[in-house]
């Protein structure tokens, strides 16, 4: 049986010590480029499930699990993806901080055999740092299919490091990898890797190692980090009074050999060495033209393909998601709502509290399902498929010019497009962005994009009563706001956009079972977090409405609603309930129109003027997220950042709604 099918450890955290065992358990880390299948190996060894994908930046967290071994238990950590010592993003910096602070007993470096030279660069860095290493080679079957098979035994002889070929989706090689880990943890080998540098480089490092020993630092590792400009090593040398000696030694070397940029020189050397080793380890092969990759990555055809895909994603979420939402709503109201109504009457009798119960456990759960299954589950399914094919890297490459206007990497493009279907999964997707700055800007822009629910308000209120021109003008206004906000936030938000190397891996047909498994875990995680918030929020709003307390809440808002925005106070009630579901504001507005007319009516102009209706739809579109989106915002950002976004959107929408109302009056749009 494959280790992939083993059960996960009980509980989220297990005790780090076994009875009778002293000290902390040995620590093993999985390190590698972001798209090498690290997390799949982690899942197979531990029996747990974390996000796995075939594009840079998906492993944004750091996951630890305790693995029970035959001889010794150990802590296995799945690090965020890293390419080298560059720490431009938070996830790469977190990975290196973990390695240097936790001092793992073993580093399992995962190499993608379909892109061996690029992956070996990281291994060269780890060898130079003199870390205890094992190599896990992945995608060997894909490399053979592409005519580029790797001779793993020869690679092990060249590197003088154990190399275990692994096919994680099928569980191959996992047992051998576990045995090798156990062997290395038991022997505690102090093997030091030979530095494959020219003689003059080895002499420099030897001199620096002597200085590091005087400072009480690990000699090889600290010498190499000093060459890369590490601040921590420099600070320690300064405290020991050895920094001047180290800088003088380095300066003499750079002057003697005419080297202006040492980190760049080391990068070139390591990468050239990686290419030489890759060529030696790979069997001769015939070049197979990758026509699909060329078509998808070329500026013209690739852009057309990307636009087509994004339109397809939006259409699927908007049309299919809307149809499923209506089907679920109809089925729920026909099958589930009647028994719930009987239960509410039996528990509370006729009266307001039975209706409050139905607000929470009928409408609240219905809101979670009609948003979750049609939009979030479908988006997660599409996203998982694109992740595992590797196409998101292509999209990042193509969308970089547009999204950099907002200070965002190209991979944020799919989130902005998907938000037109539903903001919630698009917010969830911001976790692939490397810095909190980018997640904040992306989240704000996502919430400004009209989702399908807000589009339903535009189509249901503005289009039939004000005309399609008015409806389209609302979309134009929102587009200008997104462009303006994105450009402004990029300039005023402290920090700089992260500059990341975008690696485009070979496109692969994903394992459907893994795509479905990943989709389910993400969707279940959403339901676990968002459903309680939706139910509690529905109970609160229902209590305010059914007890009549809502009018007391609305009274202080009269100066803003009537005095500034030009809206009737009753319309404020519809705005309040838009926090639960945006389309609910339109439904409630129709009820209020009927009450105002004293008879059933669907004509909103019997209740509001054209200018008021236009401002109402504008405000609903940009004012604040629905409860589902806000709960996801709280999950993906810190509470402080989520509240800042909420206050910013609400303040801006109130200010501009009042200005828009006065402009409409001046233009004669009464």
What is the per-residue pLDDT across 602-636, written as a single tens digit (0 to 9) for each? 567 777 889 999 999 999 999 888 888 888 888 88
Number of structural domains found in the chain: 4
| Domain span holding position 381 | 297-528
Of 157, 187, 217, the domain-final residue: 187
Tell me what the mean pLDDT of segment 127-153 comes to: 78
Flag whether 289 is in a domain: no
| 27-32 sheet: strands from edge to edge | 63-67, 74-78, 27-32, 106-112, 133-138, 163-165
For residues 578 and 615, membership in a common domain is answered with yes
Cα distance between residue 315 and residue 319, in whole Å: 6
Higher per-residue confidence, 437 vs 5? 437
Cα distance between residue 640 and residue 636, in whole Å: 12
Higher per-residue confidence, 154 vs 279? 154
For residues 233 and 329, membership in a common domain is answered with no
Closest alpha carbon to 367 in 328, 421, 423, 318: 328
For residues 52 and 127, membership in a common domain is answered with yes
Flag whether 125 is in a domain: yes
Of 187, 215, 230, the domain-final residue: 187
pLDDT in tens, 259-312: 766 766 777 777 778 878 887 887 654 443 357 667 776 777 877 887 887 778
Flag whether 488 is in a domain: yes
The CATH number that applies at residue 110 is 3.40.50.300
For residues 378 and 399, membership in a common domain is answered with yes
Give the C-alpha distances (Å, rounded to integers) separating 600 from 28, 172, 595.
69, 67, 8
Flag whether 240 is in a domain: yes
* pLDDT at residue 51, rounded to an integer: 44
For residues 164 and 205, membership in a common domain is answered with no
For residues 326 and 414, membership in a common domain is answered with yes
Of 142, 157, 187, the domain-final residue: 187
Q: Indicate the range of 5-9, 86-90, 134-138 predicted with least confidence.
A: 5-9
Cα distance between residue 531 and residue 170, in whole Å: 35
For residues 84 and 11, membership in a common domain is answered with yes
Cα distance between residue 394 and residue 397, in whole Å: 5
Q: pLDDT-based confidence at 645, cuts 50/70/90?
A: very high
Flag whether 453 is in a domain: yes
pLDDT in tens, 508-517: 667 677 778 7
Higher per-residue confidence, 528 vs 306? 306
CB within 8 Å of 434: residues ≥ 6 apart: 57, 60, 88, 89, 90, 91, 92, 409, 498, 500
Q: How many CB atoms lie within 10 A of CB 144?
A: 15
Cα distance between residue 223 and residue 243, in whole Å: 12
Higher per-residue confidence, 660 vs 175? 660
Give the C-alpha distances (Å, rounded to integers) separating 516 from 220, 414, 521.
46, 20, 9
Flag whether 113 is in a domain: yes
Does pLDDT of 448 surpass 80? Answer: yes
Is 138 in contact with 168 (CB distance < 8 Å)?
yes
For residues 64 and 92, membership in a common domain is answered with yes
Flag whether 193 is in a domain: no
pLDDT in tens, 410-424: 767 777 877 776 788
Flag whether 533 is in a domain: no
For residues 545 and 477, membership in a common domain is answered with no
For residues 376 and 402, membership in a common domain is answered with yes
Does pLDDT of 664 surpass 70? Answer: yes
Average pLDDT, the chain: 76
For residues 309 and 421, membership in a common domain is answered with yes
For residues 407 and 484, membership in a common domain is answered with yes
Q: Pairing state of beta strands 27-32 and 163-165?
A: unpaired
Higher per-residue confidence, 163 vs 39? 163
Block residue for tokens 């090593």: 233
* pLDDT at residue 88, rounded to an integer: 52
């Amino acid at each position: 049986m494959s280790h992939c099918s083993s059960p996960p450890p009980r509980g989220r955290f297990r005790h780090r010590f076994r009875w009778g065992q002293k000290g902390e358990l040995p620590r093993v880390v999985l390190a590698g480029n972001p798209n090498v299948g690290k997390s799949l190996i982690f899942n197979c060894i531990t029996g747990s499930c974390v996000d796995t994908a075939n594009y840079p930046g998906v492993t944004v967290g750091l996951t630890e699990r305790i693995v029970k071994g035959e001889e010794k238990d150990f802590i296995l950590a799945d690090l965020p993806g890293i390419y080298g010592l560059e720490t431009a993003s938070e996830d790469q910096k977190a990975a290196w901080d973990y390695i240097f602070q936790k001092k793992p007993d073993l580093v399992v470096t995962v190499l993608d055999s379909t892109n061996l030279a690029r992956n070996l660069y990281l291994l060269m860095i780890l060898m130079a740092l003199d870390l205890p290493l094992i190599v896990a080679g992945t995608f060997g079957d894909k490399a053979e299919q592409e005519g580029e098979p790797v001779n793993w035994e020869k690679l092990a002889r060249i590197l003088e490091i154990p190399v275990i070929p692994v096919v994680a989706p099928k569980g191959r090689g996992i047992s051998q990898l576990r045995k090798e880990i156990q062997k290395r943890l038991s022997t505690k080998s102090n093997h030091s890797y030979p530095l494959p540098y020219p003689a003059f480089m080895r002499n420099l490092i030897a001199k620096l190692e002597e200085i590091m020993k005087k400072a009480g630092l690990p000699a090889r590792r600290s010498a190499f980090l000093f060459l890369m400009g590490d601040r921590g090593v420099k600070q320690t040398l300064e405290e020991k009074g050895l920094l001047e000696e180290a800088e003088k030694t380095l300066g003499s070397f750079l002057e003697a050999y005419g080297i202006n940029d040492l980190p760049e020189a080391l990068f070139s050397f390591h990468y050239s060495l990686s290419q030489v080793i890759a060529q030696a380890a790979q069997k001769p092969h015939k070049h197979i033209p990758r026509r699909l990759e060329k078509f998808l990555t070329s500026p013209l055809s690739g852009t057309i393909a990307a636009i087509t895909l994004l339109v397809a994603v939006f259409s699927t979420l908007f049309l299919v998601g809307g149809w499923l939402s209506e089907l679920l709503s109809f089925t729920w109201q026909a099958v589930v709502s009647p028994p719930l109504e009987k239960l509410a009457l039996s528990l509370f009798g006729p009266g307001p509290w039975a209706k409050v119960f139905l607000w929470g456990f009928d409408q609240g759960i219905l809101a979670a399902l009609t948003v979750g299954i049609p939009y979030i589950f479908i988006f997660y399914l599409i996203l998982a498929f694109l992740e595992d094919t590797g196409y998101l890297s292509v999209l990042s490459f193509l969308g970089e010019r547009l999204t950099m206007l907002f200070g965002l990497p190209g991979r944020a493009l799919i989130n902005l497009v998907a938000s037109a279907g539903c903001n919630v999964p698009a917010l969830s997707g911001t976790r692939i962005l490397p810095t909190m700055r980018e997640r904040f800007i992306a989240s704000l822009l996502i919430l400004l994009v009209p989702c399908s629910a807000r589009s339903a308000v535009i189509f249901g209120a503005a289009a039939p009563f004000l005309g399609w021109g008015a409806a389209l003008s609302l979309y134009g206004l929102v587009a200008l706001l997104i462009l303006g906000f994105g450009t402004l936030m990029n300039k005023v938000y402290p920090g700089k956009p992260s500059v990341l190397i975008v690696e485009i891996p070979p496109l692969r047909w994903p394992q459907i079972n893994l795509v479905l498994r990943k989709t389910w875990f993400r969707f279940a995680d959403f339901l676990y977090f968002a459903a309680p918030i939706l139910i509690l929020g529905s109970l609160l709003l229902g209590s305010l409405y059914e007890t009549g307390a809502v009018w007391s809440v609305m009274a202080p808002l009269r100066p803003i609603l009537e005095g500034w925005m030009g809206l009737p106070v009753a319309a404020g009630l519809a705005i309040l309930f838009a926090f639960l579901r945006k389309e609910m504001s339109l439904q409630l507005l129709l009820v209020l129109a009927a009450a105002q007319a004293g008879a059933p009516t669907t004509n909103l102009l019997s209740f509001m003027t054209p200018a008021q209706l236009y401002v109402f739809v504008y405000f609903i579109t940009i004012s604040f997220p629905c409860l589902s989106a806000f709960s996801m915002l709280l999950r993906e950002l810190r509470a402080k950042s989520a509240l800042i976004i909420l206050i910013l959107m609400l303040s801006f929408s109130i200010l501009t709604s009042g200005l828009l109302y006065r402009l409409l009056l001046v233009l004669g749009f009464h």
